[in-house]
Amino acid sequence: MNTNETLLNINNLSIGFAKRGKVNTVVDSVSLGVKKGEILGIVGESGSGKSITALATMGLLPDSAKILSGGIYFLGNNLLAMKEKEFRKLRGSEISMVFQDSMTSFNPLLTVGTQIEETLRLHSNYVKEKCKALTLEALKKVGLSNPHEIYHMYPHQLSGGMRQRAMIAMAMIAGSKLIIADEPTTALDVTTQDKILRLLKKMNAQHGTSIILISHNLKVIQSICTRAIVMKDGKIEESGTVKKLFTHPDTDYTKMLISAIPMPFSESDRKPSETFFMGSKKNNNANSKNRTLPVNHKKEQPGILTIQNLNVFYSEKALGLFGKKTRKQVIHDVSLSVSQGETFGIVGESGSGKSTLVKAIVGLNKEIEGTIKINDVAFIGDASSVSKPQMVFQDPYGSLNPTKKISWILEEPLRLQTKLSKTERMAKVHEIIEQVGLTTKHLERYPSQLSGGQRQRVAIAAALIVNPKLVILDEPVSSLDVTIQAQILQLLKDLQKKYNLTYLFISHDLNVIFQMCDRVCVIYKGKIVEMKEARELFYYPQHDYTKELLKSAMIQAEL
Amino acid sequence: MKLNRKNDHFNYILGLAITTFILLVVLIGFFYTPYDPNKMNAALKNSPPSLTHLLGTDNFGRDILSRVMKGAGTTYIIAVAIVCIGASLGTILGAFTGYFGGWLDEILMRVNDVLISFPSILLALVFVSLFGPGSYNIIFALGIIFVPSFARVVRSEFIVLKERDFIRNAKLMGANSFRIMFVHILPNIKRVLIPSLLIGFNNAVLAEAGLSYLGLGVQPPQASLGRMLSEAQSYLLDSPWYAIAPGVMIVLTVLGFSLISGGIENEYE
Amino acid sequence: MKYTVKKCITLFLSLFLASVLTFTAFQIIPGDSALNALGMDATEEQLKAYREHFGLNDNLPTRYINWLKDALKGNFGYSSQYQMQIKVSTLIIDRLTITLWLAGLSFLLIVVVSIPLGILSARKKDSILDSFITLVTQVFMSVPSFFLAMILTLIFGILLKWFTPGNYTPLDENFGNFLRFMIFPAIAVAIPKIAMMVKFLRSALLKEMQLDYVRTAKSKGMTNIRILFQHVLKNALIPVITFLAMVLADILAGTILVEQVFNLPGLGRLLVASIANRDYAVVQAIILYIVSVVIIINFLVDLIYQWIDPRLRSN
């Protein structure tokens, strides 16, 4: 490698955490290089070691972390062998970092301007006026149109996107050659994400700044990186140009991430290899001539849930003793119906109102106008079914009571909603635990002793144990790793078939929606903007917002 | 880092050791003391610690060790009673206001904030001046006075926990509010409540000692550590051990429980 | 602005509420104040005259308003333990100086000693020094202030003879000797509070240092010391000020006990004596005074918050 071109060279780096005498390796013989003017992506799920590698490069590892072996070379100098005093000179002026959460990464008590200027003051001898002038210039460069105002503002007064731009300004103002951006767009909504990524690309083009972009989101990596490495469990799975990685991945793990398909379904009315994303362009071309779509031939089923002209309001608590209560309308005139045995998807970003809609349906939010009806339908085989919809929540760590055993958690829905005796209840508990793929051993454990995937199975069991008419699943797999997601989705599909369950499936993850749902509706700012059969929505979106959403999730050849 | 863990662990064990020792002494004291704590012996007035009287005698010739054993027992019972009253009422109050919120919660919270900022001894003095001194009065007074701090702790836990998914789930499954508050939520506040109970006990011991010292708490001839200290004050020059014994007993009690409480908090960190 | 106005309203409401409660409590419960004041031998005539004179036959609201009117003028009536010869206000003002000096010296000691110790303890986290400080603070937090006062008397008064126990020099007689005496009760009050402050400050600082913005500051190349003083300290100040306010209120209580040990003619001793003598006019006035001080301190603390934390300024 031409050393003139290489900016950063990480060589066989291994990092571990010492815990009670044992050493836990979190980064295992990682090697990578960043050339001048390059944008390198690091992809990986949580626990892959990508952030730790970044922190090591900055010299910001927590005290409990130990460098086990290897070196980090910046412009030829070994950072790990450097004295702290020397290293400090590099931080902020040669190598900078942009963090994920811009709100907490700023000091809430100091103005934005002061904090950006700080970088300059640490690494230069400029006078106050010059520092201020350069700060204003930097703010302008990152696309903030009113730098003078922003200079005097406090972090909490800016929007998420503006704050992130300010953080980028703070990282670049001293002319850093390398910027490490750790999930810089994860906390932002789709449209702002795009703008920030473009900004980073501009900085790279205009100033020749190298960037290491870390993300779990493939679309983000694909949008501006030229090369990328894939990390898993502290090791590098694969590396190469973005083009190659996305069109001809070598390892199975990479293939899995890229295709965004969990694992092939065993029985599905969709072909196993048909993913929405890879196939979309091809399918679009193929179907342009033949516009007949395969239609779901489900028998006419009775309606389970009917919502008509629903408006949902949310009253904010009065601020203090003298504040006024503010009443906002969150859901506007929503109508939809769900038939038995169907999986109805609700797609929306955070802030779209989907959680409020769900709360209204289950009865947790009573400030509504309009009708929500859950129809009394005879259930296959079992007379004792419950008409209240049951819910499965997103966070497996918050949806089970940590102080109760699994058997108690599964018994509680029966205790509250049926009149069965203790023996009858326990019988059902033993039955359902096997249905969701766990054993009776698990009944005696506490939630903290189960993994995320296992907890979600328990949550599903708790929802299904009362034979509900309707099951509402609110982002049920969003917090799980990709491999586990596949298992859970498969479980849901199997159970649905077995018991003719009706699902209301809420997610922001379009791929999951595509895999699971028969019909889908898109919610934007509290209104339904589009509602159709899943395939039709995905291949022939009508509404602009739907198109935006699909575009942002699709992997394209170039930005 | 290793030093930190060893250190915390050491503190915790030390706390357990001290507390066990003290509790044993006091427990024994309920059934047996070397001498009758109230028996006066003019001949042995103000004698220093010796083999026959391990902690010496007071100005009436009474055995200090026996008095300390009995006195500590009285102090502890009073402190436990105070904590029971404060914690149970406080938990109920905190649970209701934290779970239901509303304007009642707003008002009570303000009142609570104001009450907490007052030193408990002051409020106890007000009470005593109105209703008179005595053990039962200070148990009642301090018990009520401790309610706000327990209520606040419980309330903030309930406010956070009621938003958790598993509680939402219980609600939509039709559990009534009482069941949610006391069967679903309450077991989850153990982590926070137990240190509060220990700290409450410590504060109760100190408060009782202070009040009895001022003559407003436990009345003679009943012994309590605070009372002994006030009696000992006049004899500081002649027989300092008279004051040191009960004082050290208080210190050891409070120290023991603090170390344990700190150890428990560290366990959960 | 809205924040300040709200806090002012709360202030006046609290003061009002406190006065109503204090007044009501001491009027309703303590039995017949005429009997208390004049003693058991008083004749029916004398009792009647007393009640007339002091408006005890009026209803509660009227009595409250009259009392309040007088109180705002500084008139709290006469002290019964001094046979109604001395005004309550005179008594209080007499004793106030000592108590204020005691409280002031203690507070000064607390601030001056605990802040550097707290910062040191946080900076040298997990070192032997830190462990030592932690253990020592634990011990001192367990010592009741009046016991500590006795130990100080024992060591410095009796053994070392640095001061004469129970014999303080009045302020106007000899300021030097006055201070030399007062320093010991001040230490007795201060030490348990210093221990609490050090522990609290250490934990507050350590908590702040875990936050994200500290990592950002480090990533810009700041030294740890600079981060501590330019970023962390200011943020940690917010919980610390709350704590200090509580400590200040506690000091007022601590002085009550310590004054007994050192035989100081302060407000605390007066309070205890008045309770024993059923001199309710005095008790009422002192309680009202202390309660008002605590309320005002909290109000000032709220104002300081707004000054420090910009998130409270904009809505």
Sort C175 into a burial class: Cβ within 10 Å, 0-12 / 13-18 / 19+. Answer: exposed
Beta-carbon separation of B122 and C290 below 8 A: yes
| Residues pairing with A306 in the sheet | A337, A373
**Contact map slice: A 302-341 vs C, CB within 8 A:** 320-322
Residue A468 near residue A385, CB atoms below 8 Å: yes
CATH of residue C119: 1.10.3720.10
Is residue A276 pLDDT above 50, yes or no?
no
Interface confidence: ipTM more than 0.90: no
If pLDDT is split at 50, 70 and 90, which confidence band does C15 have? confident
Look at C38 and C303; give whichever has higher pLDDT. C303
What value does the mean pLDDT take over residues C195-209?
90
What value does the mean pLDDT take over residues A441-466?
90
H-state helical runs in chain C: 2-28, 33-38, 44-53, 60-73, 88-123, 128-141, 145-152, 175-209, 212-219, 224-227, 233-262, 267-276, 280-308
List, for residues B19-42, the tens digit of each pLDDT value.
998 888 888 888 887 788 777 777
**Closest residue of chain A to C232, computed from CA coordinates:** A107
For tokens 């002051």, the residue is: B122
Beta-carbon separation of A60 and C314 below 8 A: no
List, for residues A281-302, the tens digit of each pLDDT value.
333 333 333 333 344 444 556 7
State whether residue C221 sits within 8 Å of chain A by CB. yes
State whether residue C215 sits within 8 Å of chain A by CB. yes
What value does the mean pLDDT take over residues A381-402?
76
Instruction: Tell me what the pLDDT averaged over chain B comes to.
Output: 86
Beta-carbon separation of A391 and B172 below 8 A: yes
pLDDT value of position A380: 38
Is residue A275 pLDDT above 50, yes or no?
no
Sort A150 into a burial class: Cβ within 10 Å, 0-12 / 13-18 / 19+. Answer: buried
**Amino acid type, A162:** M
If pLDDT is split at 50, 70 and 90, which confidence band does A543 have? confident
Phi, psi of A213 (to 5 degrees): -105, 115
Asked if residue C77 is part of any domain, the answer here is no
What value does the mean pLDDT take over residues A132-137?
92
Is residue A199 pLDDT above 60, yes or no?
yes
| Residues pairing with A230 in the sheet | A43, A238
Interatomic CA distance for residues C101 and A46, integer angstroms: 59
Interatomic CA distance for residues B109 and B66, integer angstroms: 45
State whether residue A161 sits within 8 Å of chain C by CB. no
- The region that residue A76 occupies, defined by phi over 0 for left and psi between -120 and 50 for alpha, beta otherwise, is left
Asked if residue C228 is part of any domain, the answer here is yes
**Closest residue of chain C to B208, computed from CA coordinates:** C144
pLDDT above 70: percentage of residues in chain A: 86
Asked if residue C13 is part of any domain, the answer here is no
Asked if residue C164 is part of any domain, the answer here is yes
What value does the mean pLDDT take over residues C8-34?
76
Q: Which of A507, A137, A544, A234 is nearest to A352 (CA)?
A: A507
CA distance B1 to chain A (A): 8
Angle, alpha carbons C290-C295-C296 (nearest 5°): 95
Interatomic CA distance for residues C195 and C207, integer angstroms: 18
What value does the mean pLDDT take over residues A442-449?
91
State whether residue A321 sits within 8 Å of chain B by CB. yes
Domain housing C231: 88-277
Sheet of A368-374: strands edge to edge? A326-339, A303-316, A368-374
**Closest residue of chain C to A54, computed from CA coordinates:** C219
What value does the mean pLDDT take over residues A493-498?
88
Count the domains in chain C.
Answer: 1
| Residues pairing with A312 in the sheet | A331, A368
Residue C282 near residue C270, CB atoms below 8 Å: yes
Give chain A positions within 8 Å (CB) of B190. 403
Instruction: Tell me what the pLDDT averaged over chain A comes to.
Output: 81
| Residues pairing with A77 in the sheet | A74
- pTM here is 0.80
Q: Which two tokens stand for residue B6?
A: 């060893």
Asked if residue C309 is part of any domain, the answer here is no
Q: Within its chain, how far is the Cα of B4 from the centroid?
A: 28
Give chain C positions within 8 Å (CB) of B122. 252-253, 256, 287, 290
**Amino acid type, C278:** R
What is the torsion angle, in degrees rounded to the nearest 10, for the CA atoms of residue A199, residue A202, residue A204 and residue A209? -70
- Identify from B173, B184, B188, B191 which residue to disrupt to test chain A contact, counting A C-beta atoms within 10 A and taking the largest count: B173
State whether residue C295 sits within 8 Å of chain B by CB. yes
The number of helices, as runs of H, and strands, as runs of E, in chain B is: 10, 0
If pLDDT is split at 50, 70 and 90, which confidence band does A111 have? very high
What is the torsion angle, in degrees rounded to the nearest 10, for the CA atoms of residue B82, residue B85, residue B91 and residue B92? -160
If pLDDT is split at 50, 70 and 90, which confidence band does A320 have? low
Rg (CA), chain B: 22
Look at C216 and B10; give whichever has higher pLDDT. C216
Interatomic CA distance for residues A374 and C123, integer angstroms: 61
Which of B4, B210, B214 lies nearest to residue C144, judging by beta carbons? B210
State whether residue C118 sits within 8 Å of chain B by CB. no
Interatomic CA distance for residues A225 and B3, integer angstroms: 45
**Closest residue of chain B to A447, computed from CA coordinates:** B166
Beta-carbon separation of A398 and B110 below 8 A: no
Asked if residue C221 is part of any domain, the answer here is yes
**Contact map slice: A 169-208 vs C, CB within 8 A:** 170
CA distances from A477 to A456, B141, C45 (A): 8, 54, 87
Asked if residue C299 is part of any domain, the answer here is no
Phi, psi of A504 (to 5 degrees): -110, 115
Residue C198 near residue C133, CB atoms below 8 Å: yes
What value does the mean pLDDT take over residues B137-161?
92
Is residue B5 pLDDT above 80, yes or no?
no
Q: H or E element: which one contains A472?
A: strand A470-474
Is residue A274 pLDDT above 50, yes or no?
no
List, for residues B55-108, the tens digit of each pLDDT value.
888 777 788 888 888 889 999 999 999 999 999 999 999 999 999 988 888 888
What value does the mean pLDDT take over residues A13-37?
87
Using the Cα atoms of residue B89, residue B255, residue B136 and residue B28 in order, give the sign of their dihedral.
Answer: positive
Distant-in-sequence, close-in-space partners of C282: CB < 8 Å, separation ≥ 6: C76, C79, C80, C81, C88, C91, C92, C270, C271, C274
Interatomic CA distance for residues B131 and A430, integer angstroms: 61
Distant-in-sequence, close-in-space partners of A396: CB < 8 Å, separation ≥ 6: A452, A453, A455, A456, A459, A479, A480
HSE on the CB side for C281, CA within 13 Å? 26
> Between chain A and chain C, how many beta carbons pairs sit less than 8 Å apart?
73
What value does the mean pLDDT take over residues A138-147?
89
Which of C211, C217, C314 lies nearest to residue A157, judging by beta carbons? C314
User: Which contacts qualify for C103-108: CB closer than 8 Å, 24 or more apart?
Assistant: C103/C189, C103/C248, C103/C251, C103/C252, C103/C255, C105/C182, C105/C183, C105/C186, C105/C190, C106/C186, C106/C189, C106/C190, C106/C193, C106/C251, C106/C254, C106/C255, C107/C190, C107/C247, C107/C248, C107/C251
Interatomic CA distance for residues A545 and A210, integer angstroms: 34
CA distances from A393 to A359, A459, A493, B169, C59 (A): 12, 8, 17, 9, 61
Phi, psi of B76 (to 5 degrees): -65, -45
Question: What chains are in contact with C, requiring at least 3 Cβ pairs below 8 Å?
Answer: A, B
Beta-carbon separation of C142 and B250 below 8 A: yes
Interatomic CA distance for residues A368 and A366, integer angstroms: 6
Name the least confident of A493-502, C76-85, C144-153, C299-308: C76-85
List, for residues B160-173, the tens digit of each pLDDT value.
898 888 998 998 88
**Contact map slice: A 352-381 vs B, CB within 8 A:** 362-364
Select, from the ranges A220-229, B43-52, C89-98, the one with the highest average predicted confidence (pLDDT): A220-229
Distant-in-sequence, close-in-space partners of A527: CB < 8 Å, separation ≥ 6: A331, A332, A333, A334
Beta-carbon separation of C146 and B119 below 8 A: no
State whether residue C124 sits within 8 Å of chain A by CB. no
The number of helices, as runs of H, and strands, as runs of E, in chain A is: 20, 19
Asked if residue C75 is part of any domain, the answer here is no
What value does the mean pLDDT take over residues B165-182?
90
